[in-house]
Amino acid sequence: MPESTLYINGAWVASSDGAVREIRSPHDNSVVATVSEATAADTRDAIKAARDSFDSGVYASWSMKDRCALVEKVADLIKRDAEILASLETRDTGKRMVETRYDMADIEATFRHFAALGLKLKDRKVDVGADNISSVITHEAVGVCALIGPWNYPLLQISWKVAPALVAGCSFIVKPSELSPSTAIHLMKLLEEAGLPQGVANLICGAGATAGAPLTEDPRVDLVSFTGGLVTGRRIMATAAQTVKKVALELGGKNPHIIFENSNIDAAIDNAVTGAFLHSGQVCSAGTRVLVEKSIHDRVVAEIVRRAKAIYVGGPEDPRTETGPLISKEHLGKVEAYMHDAEKDGATILVGGSRIDREDLNKGWYFPPTVIDNCLSKMKCVQDESFGPIMTIETFESVDEAIALGNDTIYGLSGALWCDDKKIADRVAAALRHGTIWVNDFGPYRPQAEWGGFKASGVGRELGEAGLDEYLEIKHIWTNNKPARSGWFADPS
């Protein structure tokens, strides 16, 4: 009997129609887990549990101090179980343990950040210029939240939502990606152990269209926070509009990585290779669009190609592995299709470009680091988020051109630039319309700093202080301590 993996109203239950889903390793397509596949009715049960628990005040009425203490306890439990969580995530995603261990440390830090932030939240008194009036701005939980996550950083992305929702006092339904639900299942056990009252946290496993969609349609849900692809994000926003839900969306990016001649070129190249090929490009902030000053193009490209060729692609158990598989056969197909587009558009594939043919990898979804030169801004391989290990290279000849190219995208999540001239670096950083800009660096983020996108990269921010605001309603309470008539209309008596 497979484990019952839906967590609804404090109980572990199977799907109401008994359906299950096999979770398969991207490394060799073996079955690594079998989980319950929720029906729309199961999702509605989870929404009811969350709504009832929120309306009862069973958790929302806890003091902020008590909620933050619970969130700290969850951080402790994540630390305790970090090795279990990392191995579950490695199993689901094919990512090396060294990487999933990093993720678990970040997740613990995320819970601790929000616990500390909650304690700083204060009411604000407004001076309305009258002694008899008390005007106070307070914060309270937004209500019932649907927290929908992707497969590339499964528990990390869910934590960015769960931790602030807990601090705010929300009830919620977590919907992890159907491809990688194992760590979200374990997280529910930790929330239970930490003492979260029944019904506050609920978990639905299953397909987006059946198990996920009701979360975005149901009037009992107040907020949908979603991390995933642009197409799904648009659909969720449109659906959520019918019941005027709040939405928070993180929809990926097509992130420029700009290298000026006057920079530490060796560090720039090394970071460009990391930025494009880390986790085989399955990163929302992947710096897959390299823009290089024309004068150094040949030198930079030759070195990038040399480095890309040397990256060891392999399974999570192989100690030589530097990057792993793509998440699924479908995703591999999508990434492969970009090769055809690139060649048709006249770009040049310098390295990689076709599925890896190696005996130890033939059962999995492996695509090599791929470098495409002679790209133009309008090309599909440059504009689309491939979410694979594909680096495209374009050149620029002036600062203005670098800025224009860096902004020539519908997305706006992140960007990096390498330049030793501080004036130029500041100008470019200010002009790029992306939510995070790295200057002479690539990739770091901290839970204390906001994360999110301009333009089609999304709506709202996670992490930082704004990441808690998403889960709070603001209320203005005006009290007149000397009640009096308004006197607006004449009193006929």
Give yes or no for a contact between 72 and 112, defined as CB atoms under 8 angstroms apart: yes
Token pair of 344, please?
């048709």
In the chain, how many H helices and how many E strands?
Answer: 15, 20
| 228 makes contact with ligand TXE (CB under 6 A) | yes
Which residue in 5, 232, 263, 409 binds ligand TXE (CB under 6 A)?
232
Q: How far apart are CA 233 and CA 322, in angstroms?
A: 31
72 is catalytic: no
| 27 makes contact with ligand TXE (CB under 6 A) | no
Which residue in 97, 106, 135, 229 binds ligand TXE (CB under 6 A)?
229
Which residue in 11, 98, 105, 209 binds ligand TXE (CB under 6 A)?
209
| 159 makes contact with ligand TXE (CB under 6 A) | no
- Of the pair 369, 458, the CB lying nearest ligand TXE is at 458
Determine the interface stretch with ligand TXE among 208-216, 296-304, 313-321, 420-428 (rule: CB under 6 A): 208-216
Binding mask 89-128 for ligand TXE (x = CB under 6 A): ----------------------------------------
Closest CA to 479 of 73, 138, 153: 138
Binding mask 243-272 for ligand TXE (x = CB under 6 A): -------xxx--------------------
CB of 73 to ligand TXE, least distance (A): 27
Quote the radius of gyration of the chain (alpha carbons, Å). Answer: 24
Name the phi and psi angles at 75, rounded to 5.
Answer: -60, -40
| 152 makes contact with ligand TXE (CB under 6 A) | yes
Q: How far apart are CA 273 and CA 175, in angstroms?
A: 33
CB of 95 to ligand TXE, least distance (A): 14
- Of the pair 153, 418, the CB lying nearest ligand TXE is at 153
Instruction: Provide the pairing of β-strand 246-250 with 223-227.
Output: parallel
- Of the pair 10, 229, the CB lying nearest ligand TXE is at 229
| 177 makes contact with ligand TXE (CB under 6 A) | yes
Which of 99, 250, 385, 462 is catalytic? The answer is: 250
Distance between first and last Cα of the chain: 78
CA atoms within 13 A on the CB side of 210: 13
Name the phi and psi angles at 360, rounded to 5.
Answer: -75, -10
CA atoms within 13 A on the CB side of 473: 16
Give yes or no for a contact between 222 and 244, defined as CB atoms under 8 angstroms apart: no
Name every residue whose Cβ is closer than 8 Å to that of residue 184 and which is 6 or more positions away in sequence. 149, 154, 155, 158, 174, 176, 203, 205
Determine the interface stretch with ligand TXE among 2-10, 46-54, 175-183, 289-297 (rule: CB under 6 A): 175-183
CB of 93 to ligand TXE, least distance (A): 11
Which residue in 235, 363, 427, 433 binds ligand TXE (CB under 6 A)?
235
The alpha carbon of 283 is separated from its chain's Cα centroid by a whole number of angstroms, namely 9
Give yes or no for a contact between 24 and 31, defined as CB atoms under 8 angstroms apart: yes
| 350 makes contact with ligand TXE (CB under 6 A) | no
The alpha carbon of 367 is separated from its chain's Cα centroid by a whole number of angstroms, namely 23
CB of 200 to ligand TXE, least distance (A): 21
| 178 makes contact with ligand TXE (CB under 6 A) | yes
Give the burial class of 31: count Cβ atoms within 10 A of its Cβ; 0-12 exposed, 13-18 middle, 19 or more buried. Answer: exposed
Q: How far apart are CA 420 and CA 271, in angstroms?
A: 16
CB of 173 to ligand TXE, least distance (A): 11
Which residue in 25, 110, 202, 227 binds ligand TXE (CB under 6 A)?
227
Q: How far apart are CA 338 and CA 480, in angstroms?
A: 65
Give yes or no for a contact between 335 and 297, defined as CB atoms under 8 angstroms apart: no
Site size with ligand TXE, rule: CB under 6 A: 26
CB of 89 to ligand TXE, least distance (A): 15
Which residue in 32, 46, 60, 148 binds ligand TXE (CB under 6 A)?
148
| 387 makes contact with ligand TXE (CB under 6 A) | yes
| 208 makes contact with ligand TXE (CB under 6 A) | yes
Instruction: Enumerate the active-site residues.
Output: 250
Where do contacts with ligand TXE occur on this chain (CB under 6 A)?
Answer: 148-152, 175, 177-178, 208-209, 212-213, 215-216, 227-229, 232, 235-236, 250-252, 284, 385, 387
